[in-house]
Structure formats: C-alpha cells, structure tokens
C-alpha cells in the first residue's frame, strides 16, 4: 500500500466524519489511516458460539444470542431513566437495557428483524437482562469480515459516551482494510522472514484485527512484536555506530606512569575479575579514535570508585584533565575525600568545587583549571557553570546519571573544542531488558561481583510487635562498638505526616537509648544544609552511635563502622530504594544487618518486595522483580520512558523476543552497516519512513 495513502487524515475514512475524527485524535491519538491500523486490540473474545436464551446460566459471562426485538419502552424517572427492549428467541425472552443515548438508540432499533446481540448478562428476579449490548443485524453479521476471535480495542469513557463503541471501531477497521485491499508493503528482509519463520506483513496485520484462529493470532502477534522491537534496536545500535564513526574522541595512546605506579604499588586491595574486565573495556574505548560513551553499572559497594580513578589516571598519563560530577554535595565530598586519600602517593593535584565553596577558593580553582595546574576536579552541578573552564578536559565521569538532565550533561561537552570521553556510573542496577532499550545506544559495562572479604548483609523482616526485641539487638551491636542507621520513609504528598512519624520515632528512640550512654544524630530534608552536614559528620566521626534519618542518606554515605540498617515502615519503600538503603551498611569487615520493620497490614506487592529483599542481595535480580511490579515507565522516570511507549510489544513479557530482535539488528548492521544490500532494501525503506514520521509504527506500508 503506498505510504501516502496511509498518511491520509482519519477524517477521510468512510464512516468517520469531523466529529468522530476529533474524538479519535484527542482520545486515542489517531490522526491518520496508519494510526488506526496500529490501534492493536487489548484482548479477544471468542465469538464462535451462539447461545439460546433458555440455555443462559447465572454466570455474568459474555454471550452471543440471535433473536428479535418485539417491544421498546422507556422506564423509570430522572436519573433512573432507561430504555428497555424485549428480546426473544424460540426458547425464551430477556431485556436489553440502555441507561444513556436513548434517543439515538430508539431511532435506530428495528422491530421483528433478526439481530445478533453480544454482552454480559445479569440475572435478577428470575429474569435475564443485558445492559448496553453490542448489536448487529443478522444480515450484516453474516456479510462482515468474520473473525473467529472478536478483538476488543482500547477505549475511553468519552468514546463510549459518544457511541464510538468497540463495534464502531471494528467497523472502521473493516472499512480501512477493504480500502487498503491487503497491500501493505513488506518491511522485513526475506532472510529474516525465512530464518524466524515470520508471517508476512499483510497476513500479520489482517490476523491481528480479524484473527482466523488462535494459532494465526499468536503468529501475527509474534511477527508484529518482533518488528517493533527490531526497529527500536536498529535505531539505537545505528546511533551508537554513528556516534563512534562521526564523533572523534581524544586518542589516549598510552598507559603511563600515573596508572602503572598506582596499579603496581598503591592499590588498596586486589581488583576483582569484574573490575579488571571493565578497566580493559574502558582502556580499549580511550585508545580508539572515537569518543567513549559508556555506562558503568555496579551494585552498591562493588568498587566503581577505583575503576573511575584508574580511568582518570589514563587521562592524566596522556596530558589531559579529568572531572567527576556527583548529584549531591555529600556524595561529591565523599568522592573527593576518597580520591584524595588514594592519590596521596601520586603527586596529583585534585580539588573540590560545590555550591558552598568560598568565592576566594573558587577563583583559585578557576585559575588553576585554565592554566592546567589542576589535574582532577570533583564536584556537583557547580562544575557546569560557565565560569568553569578547563585547559583540556579529556574524561568526564558522571555519577548517578539519572539525576542529571541531558542538557546538563551536554554542557560538559562544550567545555572543550572536542567532546571529552564520557563515563556514566550508576549504583541502580538496571534490568537487562531496560538497559538494552533505554541505554541501547551506550556501551554498557557491569561490575557484577563484590570485592573479596565483603560479608553478605543479613536481612530480616520484623513486624512492629517485635520492636522491643529489635531494640535489644541494637543495644548489643552498639555495645560491640558498632553504629546504627534508623530510616523513616519520606513521601512528598504527606510531608507533614512524615515529619510527625520521624519526630515520634526519634522521641521513642531517645527514650529507649538515653543520654549519656547513647548519642543520637538526626537528619531530615527540612534542616539547613549546614546543620545536616554537622550531624552527618558527627556520625561519620563516630561521635554518635545512632543516625535517625529520612531517605537523604540513600546515596553514597560511607561509614564502614555502621553495621545495622533499620528501615521503618519498609512497606512504604520501593524495591530499589530498599536495596540502596541496605547498601549503606556492610562496608566494613563486620557482619552487617538490615532489619525491615512493617505493620501486619501488607498489600501483595509489599509482601513480594519484602520477601525479595530477605531472599536475595543481587541488585540485578531485585531490579527484575521491581520491573515486573512497577513496569518500565515508573522505573525509568518520564524522561526516559519515551522509548518504551510500545504499541504491541511488552518490555516485561517479551524479553525473549527483545533479545532475538537485538541480536538480529546487530547482525544486520554488522554485515551491512548502510543497508545497501538488495535484500535489506525493505528495512532501509522502512527505517527512512520511521525517521520521517518519528513514530515506530509509521514505517509500516
């Protein structure tokens, strides 16, 4: 079918007209013929069986009956007004009832003419009725494109109220197919169709709307899901390849003195195999002529910082500067102190720049940066200010990148004539399926093992009724010289309530752990930054044994002596938050514990979350469960879930299809990067259509 016909505005389809077109645009985003074809059904009903009124059971099931209307009358007053039609067949009678749209329906009903009605039945006072049935004259029913399975399309209240029912949508689909005459251009190559035994395009689109059998429907769904995911992957992988060929990066030709001295003489611990593998991948990127664009995933405590430092040392060895940007002041101070300690023996100049850096110090940093005296700059968003100019920035590392917008990240690029190499780090494990889609255009490295000597954190779930036992356990741990976190949830909508929970909790802890035997710090979002810093530092320096806090401690606070994490109202936290909080302990040599406190009233999802936490400490496994519970949009936040507005595929259920689609997309581009081969012509045409209309389904035709 030619692409232009598919771009025809929906107003011009027979049976639509301006009013319906307006509703279809607003409610379902259907602007063109093409959009309508890609309105895929949510589910299907089996319409192969016809029931007799005398056979009906009190099941509230959806049934299909052939019969005639003998009488029509209005009943009830005001709000209870309803239109009732008596419907009979040769075994009995029932009522058809409408609570709205009375005039239009009454004008269009025919008496004593055979109809097919379909809908849910109700049983009351020995009598069956069917509210708002779908109706079709038997004569039309026998002529229409018969689907064994009846498709049910997405709808909204406005559409139903305006009489754009499922049956109307189905009728429009029939009209469109009769105009299209089954001539949709194939958009996959012959080898792909053959290798995967895929249904041709024409057949797949027909069977998704008018399935001829369960088997035809399953094959049509597979074909269209594969196609959707294949084109998403094709775009992402092409973007990556294009990036590598077009955007030149600084060529770091050597690994020199900084790196080798540190590696041979000053490594604080032996690197894990995973760390070695990742450093190798980064070295390879830095040594190629393309700009590095890599995502480094590693669970809390997996040793990303040491990998970051060794990457920065390669930049220094090649005469370049490096920077590391973190989302919060606390985290950037921590990175700075950690790197300062590690770099002591190396004669490397390193500075910290945050919002609270004094003006005189800022001037000094700006000057040293521009004349090249400063090797490494660590900081927050303050690094992005226009005044901050590097002499030659070679590598920018961004920690917890989901906290920074795209515009902010690109500011770093423009600090140079050439874009620096970019390494993005995250301690939030991203499920593989999401990583393949949301970050499919980045190269991905994963540190998937913890440093040796790290003991697994023992995680238990306790109900509020066990609180006294938990307090006794905390006292025993503090007596051994350990420190404890007690964290309360913070949910934006009810800040006042959360603050009250926190204060009530704080008071009961003060009663249970009185002065002078115990010192307690408290940190929450409503405190001034300086006060927060003061309290944090008291805990870090071991002056207080208990830190009562809201989730401000979630990312990056490193206190090796803290060995117990108590999470209050744990059922109110998401899985990734629980996992992040647990990662605040277990940083020293002692056995660490995470205690999840909750009330007895738990939803099914909350139970699943708490069971998952007690069962595993593998961040990736936890992320997979989180994805199933919350879905991709929630997990990635709005800015990135755009990739995931899928029409037919499902990021969670169709993982296997996604993997196959990605491997075929890679193979296709590896063998034919520009899609010049004759066999890939359909793919090239489809891709250019896709780019033209910016919609994954617009290449279909």
Provide the domain limits for residue 375: 257-447
Residue where a domain terminates, one of 565, 598, 616: 616
Is 327 a domain residue? yes
Number of residues that this document lists for the chain: 701
Asked whether residue 302 falls in the same domain as residue 431, the answer is: yes
Residue 405 has pLDDT above 60, yes or no: no
Does one domain contain both 11 and 119? no
Q: What are phi and psi of 303, to 5 degrees?
A: 95, 45
For residue range 33-88, list pLDDT tens digits in order. 989 999 999 888 877 788 999 988 877 778 899 999 999 999 988 778 899 999 99
Q: Which residues pair with 396 in a beta bridge?
A: 323, 422
Q: Is residue 593 part of a domain?
A: yes
Examine the domain organization and report whether 135 and 120 are in the same domain.
yes
Residue 647, domain member (yes or no): no
pLDDT of 614-654, one tens digit each?
999 888 888 888 888 877 655 444 334 444 568 898 877 78
Q: Are strands 43-46 and 149-152 parallel, antiparallel or unpaired?
A: antiparallel
pLDDT digits (tens, 9 = 90+) for 519-563: 999 888 778 878 888 888 899 899 999 999 886 564 456 788 999
pLDDT score recorded for residue 430: 79
- Report the pLDDT averaged over residues 290-300: 87
Cα–Cα distances in angstroms (integers) from residue 452 to residues 65, 270, 274, 588, in the given order: 70, 8, 12, 12
The span from the CA of 365 to the CA of 391, in Å, is 12
Same domain, 478 and 604: yes
Domain boundary among 587, 616, 645: 616
Cα dist from 162 to 24, 132, 498, whole Å: 11, 13, 44
d(CA 686, CA 699): 5
Q: pLDDT tens, 254-281?
A: 999 999 999 999 998 889 999 999 999 9
Assess if residue 418 is contained within a domain: yes
3 & 108 share domain:
no
Residues 527/558, Cβ–Cβ less than 8 Å = no
DSSP single-letter state for residue 296: E
Q: What is the per-residue pLDDT for 642?
A: 42
In a shared domain, residues 133 and 174: no
pLDDT tens for 323-345 read 999 988 878 888 999 899 999 99
Q: What is the pLDDT of residue 308?
A: 95
Considering the domain architecture, whether residues 270 and 417 belong to the same structural domain is answered as: yes
- Are 30 and 85 within one domain? no
- Per the domain annotation, does 676 fall within a domain? no
Kindly report the backbone phi and psi dihedral angles of residue 322, in degrees, each rounded to the nearest multiple of 5, phi listed first.
Answer: -135, 160
Strands 593-598, 458-463: pairing is parallel
268 and 397, same domain (yes or no)? yes
- Specify whether 316 is located in the same domain as 392: yes
- Please, what is the average pLDDT of the chain? 87
- Region of 623 (left: φ > 0; alpha: ψ -120 to 50; beta: rest) is alpha
**Which pTM does this prediction carry?**
0.68
Look at residue 19 in the predicted model and tell me its pLDDT: 93
pLDDT over 60 at 210, yes or no: yes
Q: Are residues 600 and 481 in the same domain?
A: yes
CATH number of the domain to which 97 belongs: 2.40.50.140
672 lies in a domain?
Answer: no
Q: What is the pLDDT of residue 698?
A: 41
Residue 241, SS3 per DSSP: helix
C-alpha span between 313 and 257 (Å, rounded): 9
- Our separate counts of H helices and E strands in the chain read 27, 22
> Hey, what are 37's tokens?
């074809």
Q: Examine residue 99 and state whether it is found in any structural domain, yes or no.
A: yes
Residue 233 lies inside a defined structural domain of this protein: no
**What CATH number corresponds to the domain at position 510?**
3.40.50.300
At 454-513, the pLDDT tens digits run: 788 999 999 999 999 999 999 999 999 999 999 988 755 456 666 677 888 889 999 999
Largest CA distance in the chain: 98
- For residues 478 and 596, state if they share a domain: yes
Total domains in the fold of the chain: 4
Which tokens hold the place of 140?
A: 């039309």
Last residue of a domain, one of 428, 447, 466: 447
């Amino acid at each position: 079918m030619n692409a232009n016909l598919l771009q025809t505005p929906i107003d011009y389809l027979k049976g639509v007209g301006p009013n319906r077109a307006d509703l279809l645009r607003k409610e379902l985003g259907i602007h063109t013929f093409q959009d309508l074809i890609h309105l895929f059904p949510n589910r299907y009903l089996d319409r192969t069986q016809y029931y007799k009124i005398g056979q009906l059971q009190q099941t509230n099931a959806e049934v299909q009956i052939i019969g005639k209307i003998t009488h029509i009358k209005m009943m009830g007053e005001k709000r209870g007004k309803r239109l009732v039609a008596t419907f009979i067949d040769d075994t009995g009678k029932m009522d058809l009832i409408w609570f709205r749209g009375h005039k239009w329906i009454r004008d269009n009903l025919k008496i004593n003419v055979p109809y097919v009605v379909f809908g849910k039945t109700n049983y009351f006072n020995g009598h069956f009725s069917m509210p708002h049935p779908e109706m079709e004259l038997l004569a039309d029913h026998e002529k229409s494109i018969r689907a064994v399975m009846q498709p049910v399309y997405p709808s909204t209240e406005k559409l139903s109220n305006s009489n754009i029912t499922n049956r109307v949508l189905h009728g429009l689909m029939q009209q469109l197919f009769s105009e299209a005459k089954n001539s949709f251009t194939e958009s996959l190559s012959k080898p792909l169709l053959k290798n995967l035994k895929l249904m041709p395009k024409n057949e797949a689109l027909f069977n998704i709307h008018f399935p001829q059998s369960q088997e035809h429907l399953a094959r049509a769904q597979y074909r269209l899901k594969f196609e959707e995911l294949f084109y998403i992957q094709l775009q992402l992988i092409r973007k990556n390849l294009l990036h590598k060929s077009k955007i030149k990066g600084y060529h770091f030709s050597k690994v020199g003195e900084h790196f080798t001295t540190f590696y041979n003489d000053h490594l604080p611990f032996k690197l894990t195999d995973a760390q070695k593998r990742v450093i190798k991948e980064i070295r390879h990127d830095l040594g190629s002529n393309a700009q590095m664009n890599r995502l480094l995933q590693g669970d809390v405590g997996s040793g990303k910082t040491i990998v970051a430092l060794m990457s920065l040392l390669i930049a220094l060895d090649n005469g370049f500067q490096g920077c590391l940007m973190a989302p919060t002041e606390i985290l950037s101070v921590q990175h700075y102190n950690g790197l300062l300690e590690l770099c002591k023996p190396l004669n490397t100049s390193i500075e910290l720049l945050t919002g609270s850096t004094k003006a005189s110090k800022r001037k000094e940093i700006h000057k040293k940066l521009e004349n090249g005296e400063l090797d490494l700059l660590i900081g927050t968003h303050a690094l992005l200010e226009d005044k901050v100019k590097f002499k030659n920035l070679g590598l920018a590392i961004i920690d917890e990148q989901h906290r920074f917008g795209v515009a902010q990240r690109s500011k770093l690029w423009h600090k140079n004539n050439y874009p620096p190499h970019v390494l993005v780090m995250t301690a939030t494990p991203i499920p593989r399926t999401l990583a393949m889609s949301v970050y499919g255009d980045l190269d991905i490295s994963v540190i998937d093992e913890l440093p040796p000597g790290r003991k697994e954190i023992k995680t238990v779930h306790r109900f509020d009724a066990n609180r006294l036992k938990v307090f006794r356990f905390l006292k025993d741990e503090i007596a051994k010289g350990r420190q404890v976190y007690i964290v309360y949830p913070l949910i934006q909508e009810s800040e006042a309530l959360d603050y009250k929970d926190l204060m009530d909790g704080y008071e009961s802890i003060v009663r249970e752990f009185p002065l002078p035997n115990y010192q307690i710090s408290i940190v929450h979002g409503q405190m001034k930054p300086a006060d927060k810093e003061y309290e944090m530092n008291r805990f870090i320096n071991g002056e207080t044994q208990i830190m009562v806090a809201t989730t401000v401690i979630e990312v990056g606070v490193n206190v090796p002596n803290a060995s117990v994490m108590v999470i209050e109202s744990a059922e109110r936290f998401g899985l990734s938050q629980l996992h992040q909080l647990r990662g605040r302990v277990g940083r020293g040599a002692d056995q660490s514990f995470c205690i999840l406190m909750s009330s007895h009233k738990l939803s099914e999802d909350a139970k699943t979350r708490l069971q998952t936490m007690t069962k595993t400490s593998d961040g990736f496994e936890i992320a997979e469960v989180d994805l199933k519970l919350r879905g991709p949009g929630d997990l990635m936040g709005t800015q990135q879930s755009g990739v995931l507005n899928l029409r037919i595929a499902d990021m969670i259920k169709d993982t296997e299809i996604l993997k196959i689609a990605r491997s075929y997309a890679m193979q296709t581009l590896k063998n034919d990067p520009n899609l010049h081969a004759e066999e890939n012509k359909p793919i090239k045409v489809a891709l250019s259509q896709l780019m033209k209309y910016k919609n994954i389904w617009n290449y279909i035709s």
